[in-house]
Amino acid sequence: MRLLVREALQAFRRAPLLSALSITTIGFSLYAVGLFALVAVNLREALRSVEERVEVVAYLLRGTPPETIAQASQDIAAFPEVARVTFVSEDEALKRARQELVEFRDAYRDLSVNPLPASLEIQLREGYRDAAHTAAVAERLKGYGFIEDVRYGREWIEKLDRLRNIAGLVGLTIGLAFAAVAVVIIGVTIRITVLQRAREIAIMRLVGATNGFIRGPFLLEGMLKGLFGGVLAVALLYGTYLLFRSQVQLATSGIVFLESPQVALGIIFGVLIGLGGSLVSVGRHLRNV
């Protein structure tokens, strides 16, 4: 075990330039994947903030008794899709209209009768904010006798759906492509390391080293390179993130960084590529000699 660690660490010392090059290559490959992940995460975050505005409004018939409304609110709140039900009375509706619709302020001020109906505003849970679920909830609301009309931005939600699907698909495709490129580049880098040490491997075999013994230090070396590359990628990514945050002042939603589990996953990905790349390269080399 000590020998394994010593040999793996000596590999760094003996070929510092090549080791630095491999780590940088792994780092930048993972950085590219990470940048993409960062964009994807922020895009998703932006979509989510838009999604939060998905709501269904049920307008109530004038004169509906408050008890009926209260009971119905409870029923509706129990729908699996529903996150929250808010009752907006006729007076509140008018007050809001006066506040929000500045252009009509004069018109609303002189009213003797409030023309606005009371309503229930229904927020949907995350994961249910798509066209199909929204329509289903709207349909069920229409079943209540005291509900006069149900409104939700059907077209808008459908567009959001499409956007979400496209973003998901493009994200997955590009993400996989980036990851594949990273795997290939890292694989080639490790292969160079193995070829550079072909002579050493040949001598090891000559003096009776088992394949397992030869492989061990390479695998550890590959894992360490993956680890250092992963850490480098995270550092680069965080630097980029800070730079962006200081340069781009987004008034509404700030840019978010990857969460710790995602960062950990990226580094683990690096370690696994390092290990896998070494396993394949050394394995192939040992089979061929």
Partner 1 sequence: MIRFSHVFKDYPKGVALKNVSLHIAKGEFVFLTGHSGAGKSTMLKLLYGELRPTAGDIRVSGFSIGDLSPADIPRLRRRLGIVFQDFRLLEDRTAEENVAFALEVTGCRQDAIASKVMRVLTQVGLAAKAQAYPQELSGGEQQRVAIARALVNDPTILVADEPTGNLDERATRGVFQLIREINAGGTAVVMATHDLDLVKQTTYRTVELREGTVVFDSGVDDGAGEEDE
Residues that bind partner 1 (CB under 8 A): 2-3, 14, 199-200, 202-211, 213
Nearer to partner 1, 208 or 261 (CB): 208
Nearer to partner 1, 109 or 199 (CB): 199
CB of 210 to partner 1, least distance (A): 5
Contact 222, 16 (CB under 8 A): no
CB of 206 to partner 1, least distance (A): 6
Q: What CA–CA distance (Å, rounded) separates 27 from 236?
A: 8
At residue 199, what is the residue type?
A: R
Q: What CA–CA distance (Å, rounded) separates 240 from 35?
A: 9
CB of 278 to partner 1, least distance (A): 19
CB of 286 to partner 1, least distance (A): 9
CB of 223 to partner 1, least distance (A): 21
From residue 66, alpha-carbon distances to 51, 60, 62, 89, 248 in Å are 30, 11, 11, 10, 49
Burial 24-52 (b: 16+ CB within 10 A, else e): bbbbbbbbbbbbbbbebbbbbebbeeebe
Q: What CA–CA distance (Å, rounded) separates 53 from 76?
A: 18
CB of 203 to partner 1, least distance (A): 5
Closest CA to 277 of 183, 176, 180: 183
Nearer to partner 1, 171 or 283 (CB): 283
Nearer to partner 1, 14 or 96 (CB): 14
Nearer to partner 1, 249 or 288 (CB): 288
Nearer to partner 1, 78 or 207 (CB): 207
Residue 211: alpha-carbon gap to chain centroid: 41
Nearer to partner 1, 2 or 109 (CB): 2
Name 270's Cβ contacts closer than 8 Å, sequence gap at least 6: 26, 30, 226, 227, 229, 230, 233
Count Cα neighbours of 154 within 13 Å in the Cβ-side half-sphere: 8
Count Cα neighbours of 220 within 13 Å in the Cβ-side half-sphere: 17
Phi, psi (degrees; rounded to nearest 5) at 80: -65, -30
Nearest-Å Rg of the Cα atoms of the chain is 30
CB of 205 to partner 1, least distance (A): 7
Strands across the sheet with 119-124, in order?
A: 82-88, 119-124, 55-60, 147-151
Nearer to partner 1, 203 or 264 (CB): 203
CB of 14 to partner 1, least distance (A): 5
